[in-house]
Amino acid sequence: MTVAGLLLAAGAGRRMGGPKALVEVAGEPLVQRGIRLLRDGGCDPVVVVVGASADEVRLLCAGADVVHAADWESGMAASLRAGLAALDTEACVVALVDQPFVTAEVVQRLRAAHGAGAAAAVASYAGHPRNPVLLDRSVWAAVAATATGDEGARSWLRAHPELVVEVDCTDAGAPDDLDTPQDLAALTRDTRREAAR
């Protein structure tokens, strides 16, 4: 089955002080880290949705297809819709550019859940569903129709628990996101996740 990787990287990162796609962790821009995550997790193709500083981010997207979300400023839902509309695969793993502790193993587990028949699979950590998520093509239209603001797929996932498989990824990564310069500074002091870098 063909499973695409969809990296949402369009945000302006207002609290960070600039687009998070361009923020570097261990010398690597987060957008490149996200592309590598999805590719190493077995996704092909990898599609990056850009918005803020689109030209600058696009230059960092070697090895990936790039889609511009014209209405990216309205929130994550716009990026998700733009990305889904650009895909022609049987499923996709949707990842966020600001979660540097997610590993390729997480993506692989979501793909395995889809291979076992899941229409939607969500990575969970210590019992809490977070990101990334896998969506079968059969649910894309419904997900796109219910996505609003910064909600992304969340509304659809909550409304259809019977179609959602939670995949425990507690031992394979962490869902922490980088929202502020303080988060980034704390990251450099956090040795507990050294293996995920």
Least confident segment among 13-22, 100-109, 144-153, 169-178? 13-22
Residue 101 domain flag: yes
Q: Which helix (H) or strand (E) segment is 99 a member of?
A: none
CA distances from 98 to 12, 27, 120, 153 (A): 12, 15, 22, 17
Structure token digits, residue 190: 């956090």
Q: What is the CATH number of the domain that holds 136?
A: 3.90.550.10
Task: Supply the DSSP symbol for 169.
Answer: -
Closest listed residue to residue 53, CA positions, set 90, 23, 77: 23
Residue with tokens 């587990």: 109
Residue 197 domain flag: no
Residue 27 domain flag: yes
Calculate the average pLDDT of the chain.
Answer: 91
pLDDT for the residue numbered 12: 83
What's the mean pLDDT in 178-196?
63
> pTM for the whole thing?
0.92
Closest listed residue to residue 7, CA positions, set 42, 44, 41, 50: 50
Residue 196 domain flag: no
Residue 152 domain boundaries: 3-190
Structure token digits, residue 191: 């040795």
Convert the pLDDT of each residue in 83-93 to its tens digit.
Answer: 999 999 999 99
Give the pLDDT band (50/70/90) at residue 26: confident
Residue 195 domain flag: no
Residue 83 domain flag: yes
Split into its structural domains, the chain has a count of: 1
Residue 61 domain flag: yes
Give the CA dihedral 171, 131, 36, 5, nearest 10 degrees.
Answer: 130
- Greater model confidence, 6 or 186: 6
Interatomic CA distance for residues 88 and 156, integer angstroms: 21
Interatomic CA distance for residues 136 and 143, integer angstroms: 10
In 3-state terms, what secondary structure has residue 165?
A: strand
Half-sphere exposure of 136 (CA within 13 A, CB side): 16
**167 phi/psi in degrees, rounded to 5:** -110, 115
